Amino acid sequence: MGKFCEVCKKGILTGNNVSHANNRTKRIWAPNVQNVRVIVNGTPKRMSVCTRCLRSGKVERAI
């Protein structure tokens, strides 16, 4: 699926690199997504979760 958080639905943003000469080329900003095992409805499941959701405690990691 790529750079996509399954908890907060955060995904890729697109824009331009702008040089000093004002040349524009396409670029992306991707969230820091980790593949982790989390507890969902009492069972462990592997999900792609951004580090902001991990740090804020929106998911419970399976150990």
Torsion of CA 53, 61, 33, 7, to 10 degrees: -50
The pTM assigned to this predicted structure is 0.79
Residues of the domain holding 35: 1-63
List the CATH number of the domain containing 24. 2.30.170.40
Angle (CA) 49-50-52 rounded to 5° is 130
Could you tell me the sign of the dihedral formed by the alpha carbons of 36, 40, 45, 48, in that order?
negative
Number of domains the chain is built from:
1
Q: How far apart are CA 61 and CA 47, in angstroms?
A: 10
Task: Report mean pLDDT in 10-residue bins for the chain, 63 residues.
Answer: 90 98 98 96 96 96 89
The pLDDT assigned to 2 comes to 77
pLDDT of 11: 97
The helix/strand/coil state of 7 is coil
